[in-house]
Chains A and B, each alone.
Chain A
């Protein structure tokens, strides 16, 4: 006689090790788990609050090597794409190539190559794939590493060019910014400049997006950053504004989704590419005007150098946990992230997630800027209101800062 009985597969409820969680079959019937929205809302609120705790240790690092490279200022430095050597330019009109590894004991510190130029070089950048580098000063020079004279030099008008950058994707393209408020694009293959855009104020440096070949961002003196599409220079794709002083340097995250900017206002900010407001601001009491900033190649850290002669290492995502994550931790962080994204428009969550402590100077400056901007806007509106309809046009923020595009 067959006896009917309940039977269960032990695999479905027995855990493999005793450290595993007990497997509990779960009923997902929504009626059994009510109040999903309020519960998730509270979780999101907690997740946003958690984010604000940012304590981390920076390992102390010794300086392993000091090189007396140039007489006078070192104006620019760049590494070769392979990472075995680096190039420096200085006020003594020389370009020097150095080995990355230090000299073994007994040897003297000597550059691999030294090129004596005619003029002062103010910036240098290396090609992303080939043994070519570019310097800037009075003109943009393209050098072969094996030669002592430039293989090509490009000028457009007479002005001092402050920085030059290779496009990381279409590597024959270069961008440079000059002191007469220009951003000039060059084509190395055809040895000719391409186009020039004149902005309101001087651009300090530019940086190309490493994932989108035609996008670059310019750090400007007028406290803003401008993201341009190279093919349409007359309108920037996005104007990023949050700094309260000149922006001195900018660097893209290797993912191409964000960039970090260093400013004269003693802070660095992280902007998403498609947002005009920053998502994060970093500052410390002791950090002075930040001159340069770099995003590390694994997109996890940011380094900045500032006027008080310190290099600081920051986490790119402040609330991220460093080190190995267990799968549950990862799931929890992913879930928290998703909840924050889901409830981002709710007023409390928005307020908490946007809140940052700022030094008093920056805070007051921001208030001041806000008042000034509001006043300007009011004035413009009044002008439109009191003049003949159509005679005064509202100029969009994007178009306002571009003076001209020169072909």
Chain B
């Protein structure tokens, strides 16, 4: 490198020298040369100048300098003013910094630093990769057919051809286009038409319609239709529901509905009050208007025809009475003035709400007796209901006359108290409540918990106190009832000291059964308890041994117990004797029977009490031949059934066929008849439906993507190939070469 540079610099220097000597014409310094060599210094100066001007582009610029520029003046000033000596390094500097050489150097460096380039993959390798990629791609395309194939394989019935030929939906203009007037008559008609400028090929579809048809793909249309269908279905459901609800006759249902609506309205109103007071005021005004209308009209005044008829009935009919009351209540509701209190809760609404609640309670009380759970309390409740009704009626009367409202609360409370203080119901209720709490079974809780909670809390303590003695008394009573059974059990319980809770539980159960269950049930219950005791007999005995002496002993005991149990279980059975008996019966049954052909009364006297003579019997008795010896003759512990019919066996299936997993499945399929003798026509047709149906003469085309709802690829295979020119051309070339070689 250094040598190179040196050589280059030498060359350059000599060239410059030549230039100076040759005095080229286009050089600006040539003019000054003409003046002669007067001054050495000046010469030197010029030389310096010329050398400095040699620096790259500057010398060109110097040549055509027309006006003073900073750069040029700088050079001249520096060279003239300083008068420094020329140094070799200065001379060499331009050579080093030459831009063209730097580029060369850079390139050289780069080439030096680069390592060897990797060989391109082998052609076979490349092809293998191509193949793999292509295979993955095409198998991905193929896997979209999986569901279709599976569906077709499992289909109950396939009717080929799969795609039905679409009914001719050729637009008329197409038909018209294809048709030409042939006969003279037709031509004449056409001439007439053309004279009148009648459009022959008037398109049926406007361009817009066509475009829209084209724009919508089949899937989109399907989706759109499904949407519409769904909306229609929803609407019809809604309508049906509304119709059904309208037709419901149950008053209770409508009452509940109305109540619900009222509640909702109240809520909405409250919300509205908070959100938008102005709108709320409007609402209020509306209510006011309604009130005014109500006051003006005679509706709900018990003065109508219906109301009068009801009034007559009211004496005897509870419902009529209620209906009247309801109407009155409605009147009241509507004529009540709406006021807004400071505490936020509307007194009108509040009162109304309260009435509603009360009415509901009354209703419940009336209906409760029907429910089985409340049977015991029905007495008291009925009493209470009657009392309440009376009070309510009174109230209505009062209200009608006085139009007062504040008394209601005060009136209602005493009523409650009066009812609950009923002494007869008190005991029963407390009993029940206690039971409920102890057993905590859902059924018992649901009905009575509410009742009990409504009662005053003061009665709780006495109830608790009461139940204890009752429970303790229980065993003695039971003993009197069923002494034999009870004795053993009692001993068991007392001796082994069952945990107290368990005893209590048992007793409680008994208690319950006594109270509720019929005598039969009671017996069963007691048996159950016995069983439980049997099970528990063992554990206390083990527990009583504080420290077991040996494990062996325990095991012995257990074994003995086991044996005891088995013995008890099979107390009455003699298995061996049973088996022998069975075998004897089987042998007897399999023996061929003698045939008795005697006819009583034939050839002798017959009648009741007369038997055919022994001689005759002997004569007409055909003895059966001795059958082959039984296979189990010498096997005392075995019965071999020889009933199997070998002739039938030839027709029977020996091995369970493939798709079935259990012989019962197979038997069931065979047992189900297919024929029309045993099935209705419809069922017969369904059962004998062939799996594949083809029609003679109908071409079955291979399945297409469009047939099964997939979108077929828009590009044809041919166009895809032709779009792939690069790879194709290479292959093509190769192919041609191959051909040439051949």
Q: Cβ of A297 and Cβ of B142 under 8 Å apart?
A: no
Instruction: List, in ascending order, chain B residues with CB within 8 A of A331's CB.
Output: 676, 684-685, 688
Q: Cβ of A37 and Cβ of B652 under 8 Å apart?
A: no
The interface stretch among B47-55, B322-330, B629-637, B696-704 is B696-704
Instruction: List, in ascending order, chain A residues with CB within 8 A of B657's CB.
Output: 345
B-facing mask of A286-298, CB < 8 A → 1, else 0?
0000000000011
Q: In whole angstroms, what is the CA distance A178 to B385 when docked?
A: 100
Which of B669, B678, B731 lies in contact with A28, CB distance below 8 A?
Answer: B678
The interface stretch among B56-64, B226-234, B347-355, B713-721 is B713-721
Q: In whole angstroms, what is the CA distance A2 to B653 when docked?
A: 63
Q: Cβ of A335 and Cβ of B675 under 8 Å apart?
A: yes
Smallest CB–CB gap between A346 and chain B, Å? 6
Which of A28, A130, A297, A407 lies in contact with B699, CB distance below 8 A?
Answer: A297
Which of B651, B674, B692, B702 lies in contact with A335, CB distance below 8 A?
Answer: B674
Does residue A49 face the partner (Cβ distance < 8 Å to B)? no
Q: In whole angstroms, what is the CA distance A193 to B689 when docked?
A: 44
Smallest CB–CB gap between B141 and chain A, Å? 6
Q: Cβ of A41 and Cβ of B651 under 8 Å apart?
A: yes
A-facing mask of B101-143, CB < 8 A → 1, else 0?
0000000000000000000000000011011101101110111
Smallest CB–CB gap between A232 and chain B, Å? 9
Q: Cβ of A152 and Cβ of B731 under 8 Å apart?
A: yes
Q: Cβ of B692 and Cβ of A211 under 8 Å apart?
A: no
Smallest CB–CB gap between B706 and chain A, Å? 12
Does residue B196 face the partner (Cβ distance < 8 Å to A)? no
Q: In whole angstroms, what is the CA distance A407 to B689 when docked?
A: 45
Q: Cβ of B742 and Cβ of A337 under 8 Å apart?
A: no
Smallest CB–CB gap between B326 and chain A, Å? 44
Does residue A139 face the partner (Cβ distance < 8 Å to B)? yes
Which chain A residue shows the least CB distance to B685? A331
Q: In whole angstroms, what is the CA distance A129 to B702 when docked?
A: 11
Which chain A residue shows the least CB distance to B670? A37
Smallest CB–CB gap between A345 and chain B, Å? 4
User: Known: A153-B735, A188-B717, A407-B128. Contact between A335 and B688, CB under 8 A?
Assistant: yes
Q: Cβ of B679 and Cβ of A28 under 8 Å apart?
A: yes
Does residue A210 face the partner (Cβ distance < 8 Å to B)? yes
Q: Cβ of A169 and Cβ of B145 under 8 Å apart?
A: yes
Q: Cβ of B703 and Cβ of A255 under 8 Å apart?
A: no
Does residue A136 face the partner (Cβ distance < 8 Å to B)? no
Q: Cβ of A36 and Cβ of B673 under 8 Å apart?
A: yes
Q: Cβ of B670 and Cβ of A118 under 8 Å apart?
A: no
User: Known: A40-B674, A129-B716, A213-B142. Contact between A169 and B128, CB under 8 A?
Assistant: no
Q: In whole angstroms, what is the CA distance A128 to B152 when docked?
A: 22
Smallest CB–CB gap between B664 and chain A, Å? 15
A-facing mask of B679-712, CB < 8 A → 1, else 0?
1100011011110101111111111110000000
Q: In whole angstroms, what is the CA distance A345 to B142 when docked?
A: 37
Smallest CB–CB gap between B505 and chain A, Å? 53
Which of A131, A151, A215, A338 lies in contact with B728, CB distance below 8 A?
Answer: A151
Q: Cβ of A346 and Cβ of B158 under 8 Å apart?
A: no
Smallest CB–CB gap between A51 and chain B, Å? 15
Q: In whole angstroms, what is the CA distance A297 to B695 when docked?
A: 11
Instruction: List, in ascending order, chain B residues with CB within 8 A of A223's CB.
Output: none
Name the residue in A118, A169, A211, A342 with the highest tally of chain B Cβ atoms < 10 Å from its Cβ: A211
Does residue B650 face the partner (Cβ distance < 8 Å to A)? yes
Which of A39, A210, A231 lies in contact with B702, CB distance below 8 A?
Answer: A210
Q: Cβ of B692 and Cβ of A255 under 8 Å apart?
A: yes
Smallest CB–CB gap between B11 and chain A, Å? 60
Contacting residues of chain A (193-239) with chain B, CB-CB under 8 angstroms: 193-195, 210-215, 230-231
Q: Cβ of A33 and Cβ of B677 under 8 Å apart?
A: yes
Which of B653, B731, B738 lies in contact with A346, CB distance below 8 A?
Answer: B653
Q: Cβ of A254 and Cβ of B702 under 8 Å apart?
A: yes
Instruction: List, in ascending order, chain A residues with CB within 8 A of B135's CB.
Output: 185, 187, 194-195, 407
Q: Cβ of A172 and Cβ of B650 under 8 Å apart?
A: no
Smallest CB–CB gap between B665 and chain A, Å? 12
Does residue B739 face the partner (Cβ distance < 8 Å to A)? yes
Q: In whole angstroms, what is the CA distance A36 to B652 when docked?
A: 16
Does residue B271 face the partner (Cβ distance < 8 Å to A)? no
Q: In whole angstroms, what is the CA distance A256 to B701 when docked?
A: 11
Contacting residues of chain A (133-178) with chain B, CB-CB under 8 angstroms: 138-139, 141-142, 144, 149-154, 168-173
Q: Cβ of B702 and Cβ of A168 under 8 Å apart?
A: yes
Q: Cβ of A152 and Cβ of B732 under 8 Å apart?
A: yes
Instruction: List, in ascending order, chain A residues with CB within 8 A of B684's CB.
Output: 331, 335
Q: In whole angstroms, what is the CA distance A210 to B702 when docked?
A: 5
Which chain B residue shows the least CB distance to A139? B735
User: Known: A170-B142, A299-B700, A407-B135. Contact between A191 and B728, CB under 8 A?
Assistant: yes
A-facing mask of B396-424, CB < 8 A → 1, else 0?
00000000000000000000000000000
Total interface residues on A, CB under 8 Å, equals: 74
Q: Cβ of B742 and Cβ of A118 under 8 Å apart?
A: yes
Instruction: List, in ascending order, chain B residues with CB within 8 A of A189's CB.
Output: 717, 720-721, 724
Q: Cβ of B145 and Cβ of A214 under 8 Å apart?
A: yes
Q: In whole angstroms, what is the CA distance A335 to B742 when docked?
A: 64
Q: Cβ of B731 and Cβ of A191 under 8 Å apart?
A: yes
Q: Cβ of A211 and Cβ of B152 under 8 Å apart?
A: yes
Q: In whole angstroms, what is the CA distance A339 to B692 when docked?
A: 16
Smallest CB–CB gap between A384 and chain B, Å? 25
User: Known: A189-B721, A212-B145, A298-B697. Contact between A169 and B703, CB under 8 A?
Assistant: yes
Instruction: List, in ascending order, chain B residues with CB within 8 A of A168's CB.
Output: 702
Q: Cβ of A132 and Cβ of B718 under 8 Å apart?
A: yes
Does residue A266 face the partner (Cβ distance < 8 Å to B)? no
Does residue A30 face the partner (Cβ distance < 8 Å to B)? yes
Does residue A181 face the partner (Cβ distance < 8 Å to B)? no
Which of A37, A173, A211, A215 lies in contact with B671, CB distance below 8 A?
Answer: A37
Q: Cβ of B721 and Cβ of A188 under 8 Å apart?
A: yes
Q: Cβ of B152 and Cβ of A170 under 8 Å apart?
A: no
Q: Cβ of B134 and Cβ of A192 under 8 Å apart?
A: yes
Does residue B393 face the partner (Cβ distance < 8 Å to A)? no
Q: Cβ of A334 and Cβ of B688 under 8 Å apart?
A: yes
Does residue B640 face the partner (Cβ distance < 8 Å to A)? no
Instruction: List, in ascending order, chain A residues with CB within 8 A of B705's CB.
Output: 169
Instruction: List, in ascending order, chain B residues with CB within 8 A of A193's CB.
Output: 131
Q: Cβ of A213 and Cβ of B130 under 8 Å apart?
A: no
Q: Cβ of B651 and Cβ of A254 under 8 Å apart?
A: no
Which of B128, B650, B692, B742 lies in contact with A347, CB distance below 8 A?
Answer: B650
Q: In whole angstroms, what is the CA distance A299 to B718 when docked?
A: 30
Q: In whole angstroms, what is the CA distance A347 to B142 when docked?
A: 42
Q: Cβ of A43 and Cβ of B735 under 8 Å apart?
A: no
Does residue A59 face the partner (Cβ distance < 8 Å to B)? no
User: Known: A188-B717, A191-B727, A192-B134. Contact between A299 and B160, CB under 8 A?
Assistant: yes
Q: Cβ of A36 and Cβ of B721 under 8 Å apart?
A: no
Q: Cβ of B727 and Cβ of A345 under 8 Å apart?
A: no
Does residue A127 face the partner (Cβ distance < 8 Å to B)? yes
User: Known: A193-B131, A230-B142. Contact between A334 and B700, CB under 8 A?
Assistant: no
Smallest CB–CB gap between A298 and chain B, Å? 5
Q: Cβ of A187 and Cβ of B134 under 8 Å apart?
A: yes
Instruction: List, in ascending order, chain B residues with CB within 8 A of A256's CB.
Output: 152, 703
Does residue A190 face the partner (Cβ distance < 8 Å to B)? yes
Show 22 A/B contacts (Cβ-Cβ < 8 Å), sorted by A.
A36-B671, A36-B678, A37-B673, A119-B739, A130-B718, A131-B718, A144-B718, A151-B718, A153-B735, A169-B704, A185-B135, A187-B135, A210-B701, A211-B152, A211-B703, A298-B694, A298-B697, A299-B700, A331-B685, A335-B684, A335-B688, A407-B128
Q: Which residues of A contact B (CB under 8 A)?
A: 28, 30, 33, 36-37, 39-41, 43, 118-119, 127-132, 138-139, 141-142, 144, 149-154, 168-173, 185, 187-195, 210-215, 230-231, 254-257, 297-300, 322, 331, 334-335, 337-339, 342-343, 345-348, 407
Per CB-CB distance, the 6 closest pairs between chain A and chain B, nearest first, are A254-B700, A168-B702, A210-B702, A36-B673, A118-B739, A334-B688
Q: Which residues of B contact A (CB under 8 A)?
A: 127-128, 130-132, 134-135, 137-139, 141-143, 145, 149, 152, 158, 160, 650-654, 657, 666, 669-671, 673-680, 684-685, 687-690, 692, 694-705, 716-718, 720-722, 724, 727-728, 731-732, 735, 738-739, 742
